[in-house]
Amino acid sequence: MTRQALRAGLVGLGAMGRNHARVLAGLDGVELIGAVDPAGDPSGSLHGAPVLEGLAQLLALRPDYVVVACPTAHHEEVGLQLAANGVCALIEKPLAHSVAAAERLVDAFEARGLVAGVGHIERFNPALQQLRARLEAGELGEVYQVVTRRQGPFPHRIADVGVVKDLATHDIDLTSWITGRSYASLSARTLSKSGRPHEDMVAVVGELDDGTMVSHLVNWLSPLKERFTAVTGERGCFVADTLTADLSFHANGAVTTEWEALRAFRGVAEGDMIRYAFPKREPLAVEHERFRDAVVGEDSGIVTAREGLRTVRVSTAVLESARLGLVLPGHAGADGFDGTGASGASGAMADWEAWDPEAEARAVGLGGRHDGAADAEDPVP
């Protein structure tokens, strides 16, 4: 029996929203019924769907689910209205501007048994999907280190959050996802060069709960655009470029030496390099197919709102670490940074929102260091 098409709506018709509209309009089993944007032309239409003035008008059309692509500072208010009306939602990343807002969203959708996903699109990049499958298959042996770099030019349109919540959340999510591990501790430094209240550059060094070391360099102050992930382990190094969706493997070469004195430390030598060939589908199309299938009850592998909350927690820890100049211990346990376990010098931190950074600073003997990133925590005026 053929299924009735799902009725999908869209909130936000900016740079990302227009891409969602294009994909929704061509998605099998889905009808785009309307899009909302206060700056949109109410007399206009988008791929045949009406452009509406407000969310109430979209809700009146009885959507099965809505894609939320308005600025991050508005995700919470829009998402809570959708949940209250029994509508599933695919919310753009990051899930929300603060941990408390992200928690309220998770609670609202979970309490009503509604499907809620987050647009961490890197998970659907073919290079990272290949990388994850190869790590799971044990091709690298023990994983030592994950390094990401995400640099590029300044996005004038993003003004409600800084680069940590806007871009580094991609790196945090993908690192947890490809390794299957949680962040155990991290230290970060930020810079604010654009004159806006939020940071535009961040360097993070951290450790996952299995001891894997990570580093993330993320900024929007570079004319060089790069989306780089390298995972180094026992047998070599995988390098993924998510701009081109390429994945290569640099194998450790066999080190041959007859010199007995050198046998104790053989080090690593350059070996073969392989660039894999695999089908490359558009990540946004795959993200939408998965979400559509989840709405009809399939276990399709979406990024859940709860996973999105975890990423907001880690990104908040990044900002706090930069603000205080401290290494922040996370929590033991599967979710990391989730308040389930004890932390190190600071004692248990049950909730990043409730946590008092000044008390943390006093506890470790620092007066607390405030810099330009201090206000980046809560961008909502």
Ligand X SMILES: NC(=O)c1ccc[n+]([C@@H]2O[C@H](COP(=O)([O-])OP(=O)(O)OC[C@H]3O[C@@H](n4cnc5c(N)ncnc54)[C@H](O)[C@@H]3O)[C@@H](O)[C@H]2O)c1
Give, in order, the Cα–Cα distances in Å from 125 to each of 148, 225, 324. Answer: 15, 17, 34
Interface with ligand X (CB under 6 A), residue from 9, 49, 72, 123: 72
Both tokens of 221, joined, read 């102050």
For 221-251, letters b (16+ CB in 10 Å) and e give eeeeeebbbbbbbebbbbbbebeebbbebbb
**In the bound complex, what is the minimum distance in angstroms from residue 37's beta carbon to ligand X?**
4
How many residues touch ligand X (CB under 6 A)?
Answer: 22
Kindly state the smallest distance separating residue 164's Cβ from ligand X, in Å.
12
Among 50, 119, 308, 372, binds ligand X (CB under 6 A): 119
Nearer to ligand X, 64 or 166 (CB): 166
Nearer to ligand X, 287 or 360 (CB): 287
> By the 8 A CB rule, do 182 and 166 touch?
no
Asked if 17 interacts with ligand X (CB under 6 A), we say: yes
Q: Does 198 bind ligand X (CB under 6 A)?
A: no
Question: With contact defined as beta carbons under 8 Å apart, do 218 and 227 qualify?
Answer: no
User: At its nearest, how many Å lie between ligand X and the CB of residue 169?
Assistant: 8
Cβ proximity to ligand X: between 119 and 308 the closer is 119
Least Å distance between CB 92 and ligand X?
4
* CB 243, CB 227: distance < 8 Å: yes
Residue 302 interacting with ligand X (CB under 6 A): no
Quick note: the x/- pattern for ligand X over 159-178, rule CB under 6 A, is -------x------------
**Is the Cβ of residue 20 or residue 250 nearer to ligand X in the bound state?**
20
Question: What are the distances in angstroms from CA 358 to CA 129, 290, 354, 369?
Answer: 41, 43, 12, 9
Calpha distance 60→58 (Å, rounded): 5
Which of 76, 92, 307, 335: binder of ligand X (CB under 6 A)? 92
Q: Cα(269)–Cα(255) distance, rounded to whole angstroms?
A: 6
Q: What's the min distance (Å) between Cβ of 300 and ligand X?
A: 18
Which parts of 21-60 interact with ligand X (CB under 6 A)?
36-39
- Burial readout 321-337 (b: 16 or more C-beta within 10 A, e: otherwise): bbbbebbbbbbeeebbb
In one-letter notation, the amino acid at residue 265 is F
Which chain residues interact with ligand X by CB under 6 A? 11-17, 36-39, 69-72, 74, 92-93, 119, 121, 157, 166
